[in-house]
Structure 1
């Protein structure tokens, strides 16, 4: 299966928006340069070695989903129901505008996946967003 840098960038941007991580946060967490992070998010001009080094800093992010669009965005939770990400928690329940932004990004990601012929676990993400919206 071919690796599509732009698709990886869109998925990484979706993940970082969902986790409410800005470029400054990513620089501090990963130790990577702003330029490298910007290139990954924009889907151009980076090496997979750089991506793999950055991925080690995101304990809850499923690399299979990020790189190939397969499976769930998040790795399974621990047996006690806690998430692997100790920086920010699994999902931050926030305002309706935040959820709408996430839903819009998900629709963009879904359209890109469909255009590429991928069948990612987008329905599960939509259901999760709907569930968060309903819990507000």
Structure 2
């Protein structure tokens, strides 16, 4: 299976938006420079070694999903409902606007995956967003 840098960038951007991570936070968390991070997010002009070094800093991110679009975005949660970083999910932003933004990004990811002939599990992600909206 070929690796598509643009698709990886879109998935990484989706993940960082979902986690509400800004560029300054990404730089601090990963020790990477802004140019490398911006190139990964935009899907151009970066080495996979740079990506691997950065991904190691996100304990809940499933690298199989990030690189190939396969499986769930997140690694399995702990029994107490926390992620590997021990934080329960919470939104700092306006929930309705935030969920709308995430749905729009899912639509963009889905369209890009379909255009490439991939069959992602985007419907499962949409269902999780809908479930979250219903419970919060």
- TM-score by length of structure 2 reads 0.94
Q: Which residue is 1:128 aligned to?
A: 128
Q: Deviations over 1:3-33 (max 9, x none)?
A: 0000000000000000000111100000000
Structure 1 unmatched runs, 5+: none
Q: Which residue is 2:69 aligned to?
A: 69
Instruction: Give the count of matched residue pairs.
Output: 134
* Cα distance between partner residues in 2 of 1:53 and 1:24: 17
The alignment's C-alpha RMSD in Å is 1.1
Structure 2 unmatched runs, 5+: none
- TM-score by length of structure 1 reads 0.94
Deviation above 6 Å: which 4+ runs of structure 1? none
Q: Deviations over 1:33-81 (max 9, x none)?
A: 0000000000000000000000010000000000000000000012332
State the 1:90 CA deviation. 5.0
SS in 1 for 2:83: coil
